[in-house]
Amino acid sequence: MANGRAATTTSPTQRNAVVVIAVVIAGAALYWLRGLLTPFALAFFLLIMIEGMAEWFKRHVPGLPDWAAMPAAIGAVLLAFGLSVFIVADNIASFAGQLSSYLPRLNAMIADVAHLVGFEGATPTLNDLVNRLDPQRFIGVGASAIQQFAGDTLLVLIYLGFLLVSRRSFARKQDSLFLQAADRDEAVEIFSRIREGVEKYLWVQTVTGFIIAVACWLVMVAVGLEQAVFWAFFIFLTGYIPVIGPAAGTILPAVFALVQFQGYGPAIIVFGGTQAITFIVGNFIYPRMQGQSLNLDPLAVLLALAFWGLLWGLPGAFLATPLLVATMVLLAQFDGSRWIAVLISDNGQPLGEDRVRRRQAERIDPVTEA
């Protein structure tokens, strides 16, 4: 009997190897099914955002009936989505209309770069470079990308509609899935921790992103940068990409300032001002708002950004942190994978100190204690 038990017992190395193999297989499946899973993940992300907004309306909007909170949240999200599409479309048309006025400055910048790198001979113009790059091929690629974006957006909205309709049956399904009250309570607690983490992340990113966008807009308006509203909106969106999003979002307005103005002074002001705002908010305001709510190691966030960005592209970059929160909470529930959750967490307590003490108390043998 002892030999039989020893033969069936797996060592920690074997368990860890199984976890690594499972992660590799899951990553391959996520990559192959990205066309199906990415819209669903975005729809579920929007569902959590809508539910969190509905709860906020219930608490902070006096006189609003409880039944009207969810429709108001759905309307607010759809209004924000429509406004975003309008801002992007309107400014793309404005960029295209002003392109001819930017050509002299662009040609001057190309000449400066050619002189800087030691290029000898006639400096090519922007038209020459575009013709050499075969614009017809890029037009086809751009049209295909726009078509795919429209199709994915429609699929996300369809998924979101079905999720909103089926959310009422979630409670009944939980009762059928978990017959024991203890198991049902634990499942509810896990989902609540994931939802609270995602909602807190959304709230912090939205508020800090809005602060950065408004402050950067003031800097760009003071300089006289055109399409300042669009660039502020662009900075706000990139704020949802952790680590590199805010810094990358403030670079393009400075590049555009190089095109719009003759000198380099306005571009330096835009770049320096936006970077200073991002630094101040990211190092003083953001940590105070976030606190220990997410309990994520910064290195884990960076690795998650690289991982999900590689698998799902730009949507994966937006969803990297919420998916990391869900992964940490789920992995912490099992002894075989808890070590990964500990590494992902910032303080080494992925379940929280209260939950850890409770689980340790549940493992105490009453006979031994007696």
pLDDT digits (tens, 9 = 90+) for 276-326: 999 898 888 877 776 555 678 888 888 888 889 888 888 888 888 888 888
pLDDT confidence of residue 367: 42
Specify the pLDDT at position 366.
Answer: 43
Q: Kindly state whether residue 83 falls inside one of the protein's structural domains.
A: yes
- The tens digit of pLDDT for each residue in 350-360 reads 776 555 455 55
Distance CA 29, CA 15 (A): 21
Q: Does 353 share its domain with 300?
A: yes
Q: DSSP string of 46-96?
A: HHHHHHHHHHHHHHHSTT--HHHHHHHHHHHHHHHHHHHHHHHHHHHHHHH
Among residues 318, 314, 41, 74, the alpha carbon closest in space to that of 201 is found at 318
247 domain residue, yes or no: yes
Among 292, 315, 337, give the residue marking a domain's end. Answer: 292
One domain, residues 143 and 242: no
- Whether 278 and 202 share a structural domain: yes
Using an 8 Å Cβ cutoff, are 201 and 321 in contact?
Answer: yes
Cα 149 to its chain centre, rounded Å, is: 17
C-alpha to C-alpha distance for 171 and 176, rounded to whole angstroms? 9
- Tens-digit pLDDT profile for residues 165-207: 887 777 677 767 777 777 777 777 888 888 888 888 888 888 8
Average confidence score pLDDT of the chain = 78
Percent of the chain with pLDDT over 70: 75
| Confidence at residue 119, expressed as pLDDT on a 0 to 100 scale | 66
Band of residue 364 on the pLDDT scale cut at 50, 70, 90: very low
Interaxial angle between packed helices 34-60 and 181-223, expressed in degrees from 0 to 180 and rounded to the nearest 10: 90
Q: How confident is the model at residue 243 (pLDDT cuts 50, 70, 90)?
A: confident
Q: How many CB atoms lie within 10 A of CB 210?
A: 13
Average pLDDT, integer, range 59-63:
84
Q: How far apart are the first and last CA of the chain?
A: 29
Average pLDDT of the segment spanning 245-271: 85
- 156 lies in the same domain as 239: no
Q: What is the reported pLDDT for 368?
A: 42
What is the span of the domain harbouring residue 255?
A: 198-292
| Judgement on whether residues 244 and 356 belong to the same structural domain of the protein | no
Residue 77, in any domain of the structure: yes
